[in-house]
Amino acid sequence: MTTISEIEAPAAVGAAAPKRRFDLRKVRWWRVAVLGVLGVYFVVPLAASFWFTVYDSHTRTFSLSPYGQIFSAPGFGTSVRMTVEVALLTIVILYALLVPAMIAVHLRLPKLRPVLESLAMVPLVLSPVALVVGIQTVLGWGLNQNPGTPLFQLAVDLQNQNFPLILPIVYVLIALPFAYRSLEAGLRAVDLRTLVEASRGLGASWPVTIWRAVLPNLRTGLLSGAILTLALVFGEYTISSILQFLPFSVWIVQDGQGATSGQLAPAVSLLSLLLSWAVLFLVSFLGGRRAVGRTDRSSS
Amino acid sequence: MIRLGKKLGAWGAVLPLLGYCAIALGLPVWALLWEGLQRPDPVTQKTTFTLWNLTTSWHGIYLTGLLTSLRLSLLTSVISAVIGLFAAYAIAQSRGRYFKQAILTASGVLANFGGIPLAFCFIATIGTGGVFLSWIQNLWPSFQIDTFNGLAVVYPYFLVPLMVLTTLPALDGLRTQWKEASTNLGGSSWQYWRHIGGPLLLPAALGGFVLCFGSAFAAYATARALTSGTVPLVTMQISSILSGNVIAGAGENNLGMALALNTIIICALMMAVYLPLRKRSAKWLES
């Protein structure tokens, strides 16, 4: 068992490594205890699901085949394509709304910051079930109109089975808190005012300023927000299952499970979690030196 | 004149976001309110405005569901808030840059991880036929994952990271100089936490707790996959009424809307508690 958790526990290895440098007498034992217990709690389910996916208790053999079967299972391609499209559209809408608004609030309307901040908190506590029930009702109103009227057509288009436009519209709301947080961290790490004034002073228009001066400096925040949104859309089940669409997460539950004695679903869950974490971690290092340095200074 | 133009331009950049949220959030909530307060008459099939749905949703099995949801969220959010606060403090104190960054990104992913994938991982661990089921049942003989206790074990998996995410900025904002000043003036560690650190952290900690509570209360997919409806939670009741699994008589959909309205009222109460706390916390720690 220990070998498995060692293989599966990059986080725990990372946790142990920096501590070895300290003098043993300086180690605060409560800290080690808290982080150790939490490490076990967070790593064990991941390790156990990895074990569950590779070990067949009937034949007592190991195989990585569930991870290969993911890609050949029927329906995998269509559901993944739809989910990726939905996720991309979500990210585009989200940033088209959020980036200008946050830049404007940072530069000109600081009084609106609490409003934006609380708006970005609402989706965290709002039950997706309640939200989706309301949306279903609104769509139902549209379908109750006479066929041929624009409202009816809009309601039909929003629920197109091949590309349900309603999903990105709702996911923008759900992803708002995480994207807001990532962008806010990015905006705090750069001196936005100086950047913009320099660019404007040299004669660049607003779109050019944002595209060539502001956005490149925000790329870490933008990228991590986008990855979190992608992970969220891939894992989201409540809304799409109640609205009866078949994106990746719903497909896994409905069709994916029967094929491989239940090993497929945990395999996919594990893979998506570790992948999004690894990518996020890498991104935070590739562009995030400045942000990290800043945190260190303020805490020391 | 130029100032005014600048302000107008800034408003033009903010308004699309506000408008989007007003429509995408406001319209569904309005729909719930509208339909939740109506009920078709069983005989004449004429819909009238009534409080019947709401009063029904506060009695009988629906009251049980609401109370079970509240009990589960309160229990798990208290546990997660306390553990998460200690964890965040331990992380804020650590100097390993990679370690800190790894934990922060992992928290971001894990706070998002609630739902189906999480349920699968726990089913593989301590569900029926899970790798660790016999081990945990040695310690806790009555343990089953599809019960209230099972959910209480699983929920902190996404609540603790949420707590870490929300309180870490405040803990990072506690300056070492304050601690040093307190020590130089002869204050003990207890006095520092009692009079300086504690009051500064309290708003952020309570805010994180409120967010955990709201998030636990709103959770649906995890509970659905783990228990398939054996624990009466309000979110499960809503979905089973609306999918027609429950025979609640005429106007059952409207009853579902009223239940959803209840969760929105609770969410609004949460925000009403959270926002003032957030404001107080921001005043000191972000200047």
C-beta separation of A200 from A114 below 8 A: no
Both A85 and A55 in a single domain? no
CA–CA distance, B153 with B107 (Å, rounded to integer)? 18
Domain boundaries, chain B: 61-285
Output the CA–CA distances (angstroms, integers) from residue B188 to A31, B37, B197, in the order listed.
Answer: 20, 58, 12
C-beta separation of A235 from B112 below 8 A: yes
Both A131 and A79 in a single domain? yes
Dihedral sign for Cα A200, A206, A211, A217, please.
positive
Supply φ then ψ for residue B44, to 5 degrees. -90, -10
Both A21 and A96 in a single domain? no
- Which residue, A75, A261, A10, is CA-closest to B124? A261
Is A206 inside any structural domain?
A: yes
Percentage, residues of chain A above pLDDT 90? 7
Number of domains in chain A: 2
Q: Do A169 and B24 touch (CB under 8 A)?
A: yes
Percentage, residues of chain B above pLDDT 70? 91
Give contacts of A 22-61 with B, CB under 8 A.
28, 30-31, 34-35, 38, 41-42, 44-46, 48-49, 51-53
Both A265 and A144 in a single domain? yes
The domain of A22 spans 2-63
Reported confidence tier of residue A258, pLDDT bands at 50, 70, 90 = low
Is A94 inside any structural domain?
A: yes
Is A69 inside any structural domain?
A: no
- Which residue, B192, B193, B223, is CA-closest to B205? B193
Both A127 and A15 in a single domain? no
Q: Which of B31, B86, B123 sits opposite A138 (nearest CB)?
A: B31
Find the closest chain B residue to A234 by CA distance: B117
pLDDT score at A296? 40
Is A165 inside any structural domain?
A: yes
Is A185 inside any structural domain?
A: yes
Both A157 and A53 in a single domain? no
Is A274 inside any structural domain?
A: yes
Fold of B61-285: MetI-like fold (1.10.3720)
| CATH number for the domain that contains residue A257 | 1.10.3720.10
CA–CA distance, B6 with B31 (Å, rounded to integer)? 37
Is A68 inside any structural domain?
A: no
Both A113 and A50 in a single domain? no
Q: Is B283 on the interface with A (CB under 8 A)?
A: no
Q: Which residue has the tokens 């660019």?
A: A199
Which tens digit of pLDDT belongs to each residue from A95-142? 999 998 998 888 888 888 888 888 888 887 788 888 888 888 888 888
Find the closest chain B residue to A119 by CA distance: B21
Least confident piece of the model among A3-7, A203-207, B24-28 = A3-7
| ipTM surpassing 0.90 | no
CA–CA distance, B142 with B149 (Å, rounded to integer)? 9
Both A160 and A213 in a single domain? yes
Both A86 and A15 in a single domain? no
Both A102 and A150 in a single domain? yes
Q: Is A249 on the interface with B (CB under 8 A)?
A: yes
The secondary structure of A114-181, three-state, reads HHHHHHCCHHHHCCHHHHHHHHHHHHHHHHHCCCCCHHHHHHHHHCCCCCCCHHHHHHHHHHHHHHHH
Reported confidence tier of residue A172, pLDDT bands at 50, 70, 90 = very high
- What's the pTM? 0.80
Which tens digit of pLDDT belongs to each residue from B160-172? 998 988 888 778 7
Both A291 and A202 in a single domain? yes
Both A99 and A235 in a single domain? yes
Q: How far is B43 from chain A (nearest CA, A)?
A: 23
Q: Is A134 on the interface with B (CB under 8 A)?
A: yes
Q: Do A249 and B110 touch (CB under 8 A)?
A: no
Kindly state the average pLDDT of the residues A229-234: 83
Q: Do B10 and A104 touch (CB under 8 A)?
A: yes
Kindly state the average pLDDT of the residues A174-192: 85
Long-range contacts at B57-61 (CB < 8 A, ≥ 24 apart): B57/B255, B57/B258, B57/B259, B57/B261, B57/B262, B58/B262, B61/B232, B61/B237
User: Tokens at residue B85, please?
Assistant: 């606060």
Which tens digit of pLDDT belongs to each residue from B27-55? 998 988 888 888 776 666 677 777 777 78
CA–CA distance, A19 with A16 (Å, rounded to integer)? 6
